[in-house]
Each structure stands twice: as structure tokens, then as C-alpha cells.
């Protein structure tokens, strides 16, 4: 259980942004205003289609399989601070959903957005986020995600999970 919780905390802390901009001026620290804003989670992609909600339709976008992800967002403030909330499926909770809050600082370095979670233990570690216009993307190679076993019981499967956030303001 402790390992699973740590995996979800790591997952929330490792949110990545894919940066491909035609304007290299976006790549310096003086232009944080172009990146600053609120980004809502719009897609949680996995490599296979699953029918976690058991409605008869399998999807590779977990947001189509559970409402747990709906409140996930990242706020990049113009002062270089950030706050994020990542909501996800958690089988052991009463509602089946839980969320993790994080805060820290962010900066633009070489076209990437670097987030540093100030509460990471034992030392804060920067995570590189890349950006594509108004979209932020995090690719997590080995991350747990909700699935079903042969008896349709909820389980976690480990694999690639891609979080896509879209800027709303």
C-alpha cells in the first residue's frame, strides 16, 4: 500500500510538458507569462483499451472510464510558483477516487518547463515538463493505472501513461 501511494505521489509529481515552439523567445525565464496559466487534465492515455467502468465500451483514455480524473489541473503562476491537483482512481478509498496536491516553483529552461516540488522528500527534485502551444504532456513510462482482472475485479496494471493538460486561462 505504501509503495502504491508513493507511486501515485511520484506520478503526480512527474507531470511533464512537451515543448515545441516556433518562437524561441518562449525559452527564456523572462517570458513565463506565455506559459503561466491554468491547465486542466483533458486526457489520460494508456496503450491498450480497457473497460474499467464496465459499460461495454473499452477506451484507451481513462477519463472516459472514470470521473475520478476530472478535477485534475496545474496552475502555473506568473511569479514562478505552481500548484497542482491530480485526482485518480484509488481502489482502497470509499469513493474510489483520491487526489494529491503539490506546490513548488517552476521555470523555463531550454524550452522545457521545470517544476520543482518543494515538499519532495528527501530533497526537492526538478521535473522537466515540455509544452506544445497550449498543451502540456507528461509521459510516464512505468506508472500504475486502474484495470480489471479476469473476474472483473479492480486491479492496477503498470505501463505507459500519458497525461495531457490543456490551457484554459
In the chain, domain spans: 2-167
- pLDDT at position 6 over 60: no
Question: By CB neighbour count within 10 A (0-12 exposed, 13-18 middle, 19+ buried), where does 62 fall?
Answer: buried
- pLDDT at position 4 over 80: no
pLDDT in tens, 71-125: 999 999 999 999 999 999 998 766 789 999 999 998 887 777 777 887 776 777 6
Spatial neighbors of 22 by CB under 8 A, at least 6 apart, are none
**Coil, helix or strand for 113?**
strand
What is the C-alpha separation between 18 and 113, in angstroms, rounded?
A: 9
Phi and psi torsions of 9, nearest 5°: -65, -45
Question: Taking the alpha carbons of 136, 139, 144, 145 in that order, is the dihedral positive or negative?
Answer: positive
pTM of the predicted model as reported, rounded to 2 decimal places? 0.77
What is the C-alpha separation between 14 and 84, in angstroms, rounded?
A: 11
Closest CA to 112 of 131, 126, 137: 131
**7: confidence class by pLDDT, cuts 50, 70, 90:** very low
Closest CA to 4 of 144, 120, 126: 144
Architecture field, domain 2-167: Beta Barrel (2.40)
Amino acid at each position: 500500500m505504501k509503495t502504491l501511494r508513493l507511486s501515485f505521489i511520484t506520478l503526480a509529481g512527474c507531470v511533464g510538458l512537451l515543448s515545441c515552439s516556433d518562437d524561441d523567445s518562449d525559452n527564456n525565464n523572462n517570458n513565463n507569462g506565455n506559459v503561466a496559466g491554468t491547465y486542466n487534465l483533458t486526457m489520460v492515455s494508456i496503450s491498450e483499451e480497457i473497460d474499467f467502468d464496465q459499460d461495454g465500451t473499452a477506451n484507451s483514455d481513462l477519463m472516459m472510464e472514470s470521473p475520478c480524473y476530472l478535477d485534475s489541473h496545474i496552475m502555473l503562476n506568473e511569479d514562478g510558483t505552481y500548484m497542482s491537483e491530480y485526482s485518480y482512481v484509488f481502489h482502497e478509498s470509499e469513493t474510489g477516487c483520491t487526489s494529491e496536491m503539490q506546490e513548488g516553483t517552476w521555470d523555463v529552461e531550454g524550452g522545457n518547463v521545470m517544476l520543482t516540488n518543494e515538499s519532495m522528500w528527501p530533497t526537492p527534485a526538478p521535473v522537466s515538463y515540455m509544452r506544445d502551444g497550449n498543451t502540456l504532456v507528461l509521459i510516464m513510462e512505468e506508472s500504475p493505472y486502474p484495470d480489471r482482472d479476469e473476474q472483473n475485479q479492480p486491479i492496477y496494471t503498470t505501463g505507459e501513461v500519458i497525461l495531457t493538460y490543456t490551457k484554459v486561462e
